[in-house]
Amino acid sequence: MLNNFFKKTKYITVSQQSLRRTEENSDNKPSIPDGMWVKCGSCSKVLYKSDLDESNKICNHCGYHFRLNARERINITIDKDTFKEFDYNMISDNPIGFEGYEEKTKKMKHQTGINEAVVTGMGRVSGTEVVICVMDSNFMMGSMGSVVGEKITRAVEKAIDLKLPVIIFTASGGARMQEGIFSLMQMAKVSAAIGKLGEEGLLYITILTDPTTGGVTASFAMLGDIILAEPGTLVGFAGKRVIEQTIRQELPEGFQKAEFLLEHGFIDRIVPRSELKGTLKKILTIHDRNR
């Protein structure tokens, strides 16, 4: 007991500078204003927003692909100044009279700057004219209701008219509950249009982006002649929780990730974002009907 009585206790000398540094490291936030930094969803490293934007929203530490909104995706896929948008003004009605649905869609429009969960149109990809549809998971989780179904169907029908290939970027939490059975029917409607596209011998490429689930997976997402996916993308039909609850088992490692689908034979290639436009160019060149 007496041994410890006269032991000199060690103290840490703290300077003003080191105090500040400790503070910074302890809660992992640099002392810059909010909204200018982002934490990587995969490796948890802190990234400056401007750096992230410059790298097409890919974490430069671990390669994690952040989600893009529709405009961002179109900007990096379609050649500058060639994009012509279709059906810009189309908005949802309320087919089953769901309470609060109109308010919700108005709010979403305000929040996201787009009118619905898909942007459709045409433009050039490295010189080749295509019809393109890009879903946006920011708008009500990218859920598919009548408008998504109608816009995509019209885009596909336009492609049939103009004899153009169709590229669709999918991103969806599934069918839109608020439109009930009308949402379910969009699966059949869009699939039928894709069927017609195929009968005309026209190319259909889908690029599965994070997340692609539910009624979108079980319809046009999995009908591409060529199906590509970004690395680490969640792709599945049933939701993880529903599966866990049903079978009461733990799910295997990497379940419902793009890599899992590749292994099981359901997608053609996983393409990192930085290589996507190049890959599309190659595919479009090989499929060029004027060769």
Q: Which residues contact another protein by CB under 8 A?
A: 87, 89-96, 98-99, 145-147, 149-150, 153, 175, 177, 179-189, 191-196, 198-199, 214-215, 217-223, 235-239, 242-243, 246-247, 249, 251-252, 255-256, 264-266
Minimum distance of another protein from residue 161's CB (angstroms): 15
Question: Cα–Cα distance between 203 and 164 in angstroms, integer?
Answer: 8
Give min distance, CB of 193 to another protein, in A: 8
* Residue 99 C-beta: closest distance to another protein, Å: 8
Q: CA 23, 28, 33 angle in degrees (round to 5)?
A: 85
Q: How far is the CB of 226 from another protein (least distance, A)?
A: 14
CB of 134 to another protein, least distance (A): 18
Q: How far is the CB of 59 from another protein (least distance, A)?
A: 27
Min dist CB 71 to another protein, Å, is 21
Q: Which of 125, 207 has the CB closer to another protein?
A: 207
Cβ-based burial of 15 (10 A; exposed 0-12, middle 13-18, buried ≥19): exposed
CB closer to another protein, 164 vs 208:
208
Identify which of residues 150 and 230 has a Cβ nearer to another protein in the complex. 150
| DSSP line for 112-126 | HSSSSSEEEEEEEET
Residue 9 vs 246, nearer CB to another protein: 246
Give the nearer residue to another protein in terms of CB position, either 66 or 121: 121
Please say which residue, 8 or 241, places its beta carbon nearer to another protein.
Answer: 241
Q: Residue 95, class by beta-carbon neighbours within 10 Å (0-12 exposed, 13-18 middle, 19+ buried)? A: middle
Closer to another protein by Cβ: residue 95 or 231 = 95
Residue with tokens 């005309």: 200
CB < 8 Å & 24+ apart, contacts of 75-80: 76/273, 76/277, 77/125, 77/132, 77/134, 77/167, 77/169, 77/276, 77/277, 77/280, 78/123, 78/124, 78/125, 78/132, 79/123, 79/124, 79/125, 79/126, 79/127
d(C-alpha 281, C-alpha 188), whole Å:
30
Unique residue bearing structure tokens 């893009």 = 68
Question: In degrees, to the nearest 5, what angle opens at C-alpha 134 toward C-alphas 130 and 137?
Answer: 175
